[in-house]
Structure 1
Amino acid sequence: MDLRTRLRHLVLTATALVTAAAALPPASAGAADAGSRNRHLSSGGLSALIRYTEHGVPHILAKDYANLGFGTGWAQAADQVCTLADGFVTVRGERSRHFGADAAPDGSLSSATKNLSSDLYFAGVRQAGTVEKLLATPAPAGPSRQVKETMRGWAAGYNAWLAQNRVTDPACKGAGWVRPVSALDVARRGFAVSVLGGQGRGVDGITAAAPPETGAARTSVVDRERAAAAAREMFASDNADMGSNAVAFSGRTTANGRGLLLGNPHYPWQGGRRFWQSQQTIPGELNVSGGSLLGTTVVNIGFNDKVAWSHTVATGVTLNLHQLTLDPADPTAYLVDGRPERMTRRTVSVPVKGAAPVTRTQWWTRYGPVVTGLGASLPLPWSATTAYALNDPNAANLRGSDTALGFAKARSTQGIAKTLRRVQGLPWVNTVAADSAGHTFFSQSQVLPRITDDLAQRCSTPLGKVTYPASGVAVLDGSRTDCALGSDKDAVQPGIFGPSRMPVLEDAPYAENSNDSAWLTNADRPITGYERVFGTVATRRSLRTRGAVEDVSAMAEKGGLTVGDLQRQQFANRAPAGDLAAAGTVEGCTALAADRPDLKEACGVLGRWDRTVNTDSAGALLFDRFWRKLVASVPQAELWKVPFSAADPVRTPNTLNTAAPGFATALTGAVSELRAAGIALDAPLGKHQFVVRDGKRIALHGGTESLGIWNKIEPVWNPAGGGYTEVTTGSSHIQAVGWDGGRCPVARTLLTYAQSSNPSSPHYSDQTELYSGERWVTWRFCEKDILRAPGLRVERVRER
């Protein structure tokens, strides 16, 4: 019997055993689960079958949710143990203990600027039993039994991998902070992801908040206009470290009448918010493929044999502030309808490497924690008369994994919509979906504070009257109970919007989002009528949105689309900023060159540039460096001669204003910068935009947000090292999915930074090289395709 035959025999035998277990009658299945739990508590017993296909993608087969979680935890640990372990140090509040108080965390699980503030926050979460209370909340407001079982299994799988394998990744080899975890640790990590857009933004301000000292100023003054600008900047999509594109095409636009979906999330290339690919199968119960955020027990973005979905970071503002009127006799008490209410003290102590433990007190109110700032640019001082409390409804939301699990089981876009209505668990993303019957779906179904425009009008403080219109950040009068958020009848938790209030678009020829608000999801069917907290209507769109709508509307109009068209769109690498402004730049450059002969070469290079950001594009790097400098120094209102018009939102604003102050400085600065770095003005982009993996340069295409590139990457400029030498964030888990009428979806995928962060892994950079060459992975969904994979590797993993 040859190796291929033996592997096939092993897989078929294991599949038969798993299928038989899944087919037990309910009473027997319950008894089997109870026995499994008892064995787990004593001598173990969880197991899974993992089949590895090309590029290290695991196809995990298990008999139930606990065993599926086990296989997922094992396989994630095998690829990403150091990154995962680092995240668990964060949610335990132990970064200062291991890495020092002043070092900076990687930002994956909060916006804390130092380990100490991160630890004080997460130690406070632990001390308050926040996640334990959420786990004890009955579904649907709390997590389901199935999700809790996957968490239990994931922790067991991670721990079993640690016990049975040697860590070889130099990032944590031999480190004492790589330790076993509990299901509660897994849930706490999920909580951290849920509050990223709320409490996670305010960690520094929450942990630094302290009552004013005796004799301090009795009032605090916040510069309202600066605060409005800071809030607008903070919640602007083009300043976020995560973004995405996604488009669904209906059967009216495709070659076979079935739907198509292209998902292109822009997420960090390093750290704990990386995606990881897998297929999860419980025979007769679940069969789903796609990408999971590390530490997640389910597939977050993916597809099954009937429906595919992706997410884009939404514009909904997931927090609001309540301005407190303090008791004149006690700055740690606040007035509500004239009656004083004491704040709750939460005193937290964290160990610090090489120093004494640090103890701080956090202050909590009926609205949430007192916060003295949202980032450095939006201070919220605590005076003798005024303080601010941060409300984050996602601090009561541990339902994200149930949402993903519901998507995984959905049989259509209607199943996606039903899950969103029932679970209401997505904190900060939109959903775009397509199905095999040809339907499309978009929804901005977020867990948002129930800030209606009417409430903001009635209850905004003077600060809120400028921040809410500018950014969607409401600042409400916390001294009045008639300013409470209220509740929608169809909402699963108080103080949030119910599903009937969400922006939704169904069965449009295309539904596309590139991190702008829901308004222009389809240019022919704009979505209106939602509250300001969800986003804006009839306002200027980003260049990425404008370019995307131009591209996908043209694709839909052309029709006859296939998965191949999605692949071509992903790597078209058109630069909308170049289409709009390159010709004007050349004209302005030529005028300047009359007095500056040293610019003549640059004018010629820009004139010959093909307006793309492919690796062989000559002139792309020069335009990139010029454009970044220009948009950083010239306000949008002065950048274009033709202003934005809501009647023509895709094509306006336009016509570059080369007379704008800063144009000449940006152009001459870019030319001087490249020459000083020894970079030719007409150098191919890929020669100076690359990453180094295993000592090898891998050229990268794509480009930055301000250029409007669909295939977005945000590279790190290092002129001394040869140009852009690393990527912080950008295209990550890409999937192009369709159906051809058979049982197996037609899917092409890419994980741009590959499955493993371990340099010794064969899957450390293999997909990065595919990405560089604009090549794709043909996904193996059905058993027959998995078993045909070259180099198929099968592992039966179990607890000992």
Structure 2
Amino acid sequence: MRVQQQMNHAGAVLVVALIASVLSITSCGTDEQSPSGATYEATIRYTGYGVPHILADNWANLGFGQGYSATQDRGCIVADQVLKVQGERASFLGRGEDDEYLDSDFGYRALALPEVAAKDFPNLSQREQDLFTGYAAGYNHYLAENGSEGFPGWCAGEEWVRPITPIDYYAYVRDGAMMASGATLAHFIGAAQPPGAVPAATAPVSDFEAALTDLTVHASNGWALGSERTESGRGMVLTNPQFGWHGATQFRENHLTIPGELDVYGASFGGFPGMQVGFNQNVAWTHTVSEGFRFTMYELELVPGSPTRYKYDGEERAMTSRDFSVQVRQEDGSMQEVQRTLYFTHYGPMLVVPAFGEWSDERALTYRDANSENNEVITQFLEMNLATSMDDFQRVFAEVSGIPWVNTMSASSDGRAWYADGSATPHLSDEAIALWQQSLDETLAGAFFDFGIILLNGSDSRLEWVDEEGARDPGVVPYSKQPNLERRDEVSNANQSHWMINSAELLEGYTPMMGRERHEQHLRGRMVAMLVEDDSPEGPSGPDGVFSMEELQEVYMVNRGLLGELLHDDVLARCAGADTVMVGEQTVDIAEACTVLGDWDLLYNLDSVGAVLWRQVWSTASGAGYEWKVPFDVNDPLDTPRGLADAPLEGPDPVLQNIGGAVLMLEEAGFDVDVALGDAQFTNKGDLRIPMHGGISLDGVANIGAPVIDFADSLEPVDMAETVDASTGLTREGYYADRGPSIVIAIEFTDDGPRATSIAAYSQSKDPNSPHFADQTQLYSMEQFKPVRFTEEEIMGDPELEVVVIRSN
């Protein structure tokens, strides 16, 4: 039983008394103990919109409280991902379509994360072991209280919702560190079989293309402002990770406190412990997915007649092998054992890529993962949570180096803004990079690079990773050779490389494994930089050129589309006098469409008429896209490329044909050309259809509202109508926005400490019966933020305060 009391503002004195005596309260509970026989207890103070503030006296109890509250809100994430990492999906769900679950299980058996976790767990600090152990206990306590039927949302009642151990939980976190590498490749590792072996089912090419797209399509933004650009003269940060609103990469807002040791507010990624984005009294930070590379693939030249032996500098090497077996549930409920032998090189496991890299008698693929040995990932985030200054925050990056795959933008209470890409990155020699770049003209290496993957010659030792003193693990780029930048004005990133973090100080001279330099920036990245760097009187920071909290919130919700700003006038000029256009063999009336485009406000707000039509004009399904009139200039990366290339002197105008194609596409989907964005773009929360503002990457909008991408191979179902245009996500119901702002927190340091507002676009809870299932989604639709309760006074003053004491002994 939980000790629980509903409180209002007048009950603050009683709440204070309860908290002061929380550790002496005796409450009933299930008999759960950590391996050391510990008793767990935590106080959870829920404020408006269901945000939990977890108060505990040590790290084990903090983990217990965080694990319990996270399970209460989004317990299916950990349950689902633990099942995946254990390689047991097929035992509950069968082989899956095209052996989806079976290949995943074998792939995860090959990655052996439970074995890795068991080996590394004793080497974690006592604090980290306690946090993992407590979190697992909190998860299990919620399960014991409520059963699997009481889990929130889509996994309720599933038999695979089971108790977990601290090792299970740690293995899941290690998998999260490999989200941009091995976790995405697991299916293709599990399916890898040499010629002559019993073949695994061949997944469609589209599955691999989708997996590779997951590695390259990201939409997070991050701003950090220094003293020169803030009204307070102190630091400010806007967090804006943008992952899927379904699946395993959702963020969850919470507040963690151990009096006298830890006080951090923000959001946790998936079911991770601690805080991945947020702030404490001294520093605030956020992340965006790095453009750099987290692994390299290797193509092996095989020994003729021996497909499990490969050449290496002219000599022969034998692959190693391991035998695995997976229990597979049959349609009648019985179990069948399936066995498979998987192979490994000195780089790592073998894999097979449909239509790109099959395992033949002559060639095969393997890969090496920069995060496979990253046992510092939780140390990294916990030390960031505890940072006492910007100097201390930077020390964590230099000494721990556990960042797996993200850029970091941060600002401090004394007004310093800092960027770093500390991601685990393969360290290649200059010779290796030159050899790889020469190979890009080859079909396979070039094809892989189109998907953001480095393919190297694995039979040539010159392409090995370089070991260097100071690196976190052998073969990765050391912190001293990774890009970072500190300024007093601003730094920003929108998933482009480190090159243009601030257009006044371009970062050059780093390995291309960290990302591209002197390269055209994508439209969203340019818009994000323009919004934060514009200090003109007409700019987002107002006449004084410095940001207030309100202006920082508004800059995110402005919904400007850069593609429209760059090309709109040129398109209207082409529309002049045009009434019809031939699209294929069909004559299409575009007069009304041109009028709608002329009246468009160039924004992506709910009432913006013309935004939908404009998006479809540039869809690859509508026509040939566009060409720039002014090309990219490396000395003017913010303002180039720009302008629409002139119409051809002869033949049809491709821009007008694009408009005609957009008219037909919208007609097929059931929409008029003058449909407002809010009538076409939406998300579903149960039976609620909630209109969504924002754009997709094509639009050049900072605020993303895009179709779902499953970044972490989740079982969570997503219902979508029939797709009409895959390039924009247009369905017969409109644009289903299921990827965008995960958690937006605007943070300002003041003389009295940090002040913040936030919005979680998909709301706090996955339980359809919870009052916090859709409340923030509706708030976000109205472009509103909610106040963050950080101080004791703010928490106690919340009119919706509810205090819950959980205890397990």
- Name the CA shift for 1:727/1:99 in 2 (closer, same or farther; >3 Å): farther
TM-score, L = length of structure 1: 0.87
Task: Give 3-state SS (helix, strand or coil) of 2:61's partner.
Answer: helix
2:135 to 154, 163, 168: 154
The AA in structure 2 aligned to 1:737 is: I
Indicate conservation of the 8 Å contact 2:242/2:741, yes or no: yes
Paired with 1:253 and 1:749, the residues of 2 have a C-alpha distance of 21
Paired with 1:416 and 1:731, the residues of 2 have a C-alpha distance of 25
- Name the CA shift for 1:4/1:208 in 2 (closer, same or farther; >3 Å): closer
Task: Give 3-state SS (helix, strand or coil) of 2:74's partner.
Answer: helix
- Name the CA shift for 1:712/1:459 in 2 (closer, same or farther; >3 Å): closer
Higher RCO, 1 vs 2 (CA within 8 Å, ≥6 residues apart): 2
Indicate conservation of the 8 Å contact 1:18/1:283, yes or no: no
Paired with 1:186 and 1:2, the residues of 2 have a C-alpha distance of 32
State yes or no: 1:278 paired with 2:278: no
The superposition leaves residues 683-739 of structure 1 with CA deviations (integer Å, 9 ceiling, x where unpaired) of 221122122324232111001111111111104776798643532311111111011
1:450 to 402, 414, 427: 427
Task: Give 3-state SS (helix, strand or coil) of 1:687's partner.
Answer: helix
Note the 1:357-368 alignment, pairs <5 A: 357-368=337-348
Task: Give 3-state SS (helix, strand or coil) of 1:396's partner.
Answer: coil
- RMSD over aligned CA atoms reads 3.1
Other-structure match for 1:60: 54
- Name the CA shift for 1:5/1:757 in 2 (closer, same or farther; >3 Å): closer
Indicate conservation of the 8 Å contact 2:295/2:368, yes or no: yes
Paired with 1:321 and 1:308, the residues of 2 have a C-alpha distance of 36
Other-structure match for 2:406: 429
Indicate conservation of the 8 Å contact 1:134/1:397, yes or no: no
Indicate conservation of the 8 Å contact 1:73/1:153, yes or no: yes
Other-structure match for 1:649: 637
Paired with 1:728 and 1:712, the residues of 2 have a C-alpha distance of 10
- Name the CA shift for 1:65/1:690 in 2 (closer, same or farther; >3 Å): same
1:602 to 593, 601, 620: 593
Indicate conservation of the 8 Å contact 2:224/2:418, yes or no: yes
Note the 1:707-746 alignment, pairs <5 A: 707-715=699-707, 723-724=733-734, 726-743=736-753, 745-746=754-755
The AA in structure 2 aligned to 1:117 is: D
Indicate conservation of the 8 Å contact 2:311/2:317, yes or no: yes
Q: Tell me the CA shift for residue 764 of structure 1.
A: 0.6
Indicate conservation of the 8 Å contact 2:110/2:349, yes or no: no
Paired with 2:741 and 2:138, the residues of 1 have a C-alpha distance of 29
State yes or no: 1:293 paired with 2:290: no
State yes or no: 1:671 paired with 2:680: no
Q: Once the two structures are aligned, what percentage of the paired residues are identical?
A: 32
- Name the CA shift for 1:42/1:746 in 2 (closer, same or farther; >3 Å): closer
Indicate conservation of the 8 Å contact 2:425/2:477, yes or no: yes
Other-structure match for 1:343: 319
- Name the CA shift for 1:38/1:51 in 2 (closer, same or farther; >3 Å): closer
Paired with 1:647 and 1:417, the residues of 2 have a C-alpha distance of 30
Q: Tell me the CA shift for residue 491 of structure 1.
A: 1.0
Note the 1:305-344 alignment, pairs <5 A: 305-328=281-304, 330-344=306-320
Task: Give 3-state SS (helix, strand or coil) of 1:768's partner.
Answer: helix
State yes or no: 1:690 paired with 2:691: no
The AA in structure 2 aligned to 1:203 is: A
The superposition leaves residues 387-444 of structure 1 with CA deviations (integer Å, 9 ceiling, x where unpaired) of 2220002011132221111111112332221111111111211000011100000011
Other-structure match for 1:219: none
Indicate conservation of the 8 Å contact 1:191/1:397, yes or no: yes
Q: Tell me the CA shift for residue 95 of structure 1.
A: 1.6
Task: Give 3-state SS (helix, strand or coil) of 1:362's partner.
Answer: strand
Indicate conservation of the 8 Å contact 2:225/2:236, yes or no: yes
The AA in structure 1 aligned to 2:680 is: H
Other-structure match for 1:186: 169
Other-structure match for 1:795: 804
Other-structure match for 1:28: none
2:64 to 54, 57, 70: 70
Paired with 1:252 and 1:20, the residues of 2 have a C-alpha distance of 49
Q: Tell me the CA shift for residue 662 of structure 1.
A: 4.6
Paired with 2:153 and 2:411, the residues of 1 have a C-alpha distance of 42
More divergent stretch after superposition (342-351 vs 568-577): 342-351
Q: Tell me the CA shift for residue 663 of structure 1.
A: 3.0
Paired with 1:652 and 1:95, the residues of 2 have a C-alpha distance of 49
The AA in structure 2 aligned to 1:132 is: A
Paired with 2:359 and 2:588, the residues of 1 have a C-alpha distance of 57
Paired with 1:666 and 1:101, the residues of 2 have a C-alpha distance of 44
State yes or no: 1:584 paired with 2:570: yes
Other-structure match for 1:109: none
Q: Tell me the CA shift for residue 475 of structure 1.
A: 3.5
The AA in structure 1 aligned to 2:637 is: P
The AA in structure 2 aligned to 1:629 is: T
The superposition leaves residues 522-558 of structure 1 with CA deviations (integer Å, 9 ceiling, x where unpaired) of 0010010111111111111100011122211114885
The superposition leaves residues 226-283 of structure 1 with CA deviations (integer Å, 9 ceiling, x where unpaired) of x9xx99998789x845331111111011112101111211101001111111001111
- Name the CA shift for 1:688/1:231 in 2 (closer, same or farther; >3 Å): closer
Indicate conservation of the 8 Å contact 1:317/1:448, yes or no: yes
Note the 1:502-581 alignment, pairs <5 A: 502-555=482-535, 558-581=544-567
- Name the CA shift for 1:472/1:608 in 2 (closer, same or farther; >3 Å): closer
Task: Give 3-state SS (helix, strand or coil) of 2:60's partner.
Answer: helix
The AA in structure 2 aligned to 1:427 is: P
More divergent stretch after superposition (591-600 vs 277-286): 591-600
- Name the CA shift for 1:479/1:600 in 2 (closer, same or farther; >3 Å): closer
Task: Give 3-state SS (helix, strand or coil) of 1:115's partner.
Answer: helix
Indicate conservation of the 8 Å contact 2:407/2:423, yes or no: yes
Paired with 2:397 and 2:483, the residues of 1 have a C-alpha distance of 12
1:101 to 85, 95, 98: 95
The AA in structure 2 aligned to 1:627 is: W
State yes or no: 1:145 paired with 2:126: yes
More divergent stretch after superposition (81-90 vs 720-729): 720-729
State yes or no: 1:629 paired with 2:629: no
Other-structure match for 2:226: 250
Other-structure match for 1:614: 605
Paired with 2:721 and 2:225, the residues of 1 have a C-alpha distance of 36
Task: Give 3-state SS (helix, strand or coil) of 2:784's partner.
Answer: coil
Aligned length: 751
Q: Tell me the CA shift for residue 633 of structure 1.
A: 5.0
Q: Tell me the CA shift for residue 464 of structure 1.
A: 8.8
Note the 1:74-89 alignment, pairs <5 A: 74-89=68-83
TM-score, L = length of structure 2: 0.87
The AA in structure 1 aligned to 2:368 is: N
Paired with 2:114 and 2:679, the residues of 1 have a C-alpha distance of 52
1:410 to 368, 387, 397: 387
Q: Tell me the CA shift for residue 19 of structure 1.
A: 9.3
Q: Tell me the CA shift for residue 454 of structure 1.
A: 3.0
Task: Give 3-state SS (helix, strand or coil) of 2:664's partner.
Answer: helix
